[in-house]
Amino acid sequence: MNAAVAMLAGLKLTNAKKPTQISPVAQRRGKLAKRIREQVELAKAQAEGRTYAPTRLRSVKNAETGERTTVESPKRVKQWWFVADNGKVCVALKYGAKIVELAKGKSAVEVASGAELITALETLKAAVTGGELDAQIEAAAGAVRKGFKK
């Protein structure tokens, strides 16, 4: 018994409660960071000449028996980058269907090649998780929400 108490004495004990809700800002950051991670994987797959096909779980109801089963289905991931008129690759950050304005009047990042595209996407992801684009994400989220209101 004394050995267990001696081991606990070396730890910093606290009275902490796990939060039951995540703040809306943290939810939006997480959502966008996840989508950027998918774009990085898609860019890496295209650079290596393979296809990127993530799957998701869906609940499907059997028409004959009425039972619900869970099946894996492919998830469609649209690429966010395009080739501009000058031959450079541009990547636009999207929240839902809305393009996030990165700076006043600037909505895309221009890079020279696919390798730089992956670096740019990872930099954008770091900026999102660091909270640098919270105001722009909030504006895009408001525009997406406005589309659902009657």
What is the residue extent of each domain of the chain?
24-148
Question: Which H or E element spans position 98?
Answer: strand 98-99
Specify the pTM. 0.74
Q: Percent of the chain having pLDDT more than 90?
A: 16
Number of H helices, E strands in the chain: 4, 7
**pLDDT interval class at 49 (50, 70, 90):** confident
Task: Give the whole-angstrom CA distance, residue 109 versus residue 38.
Answer: 17
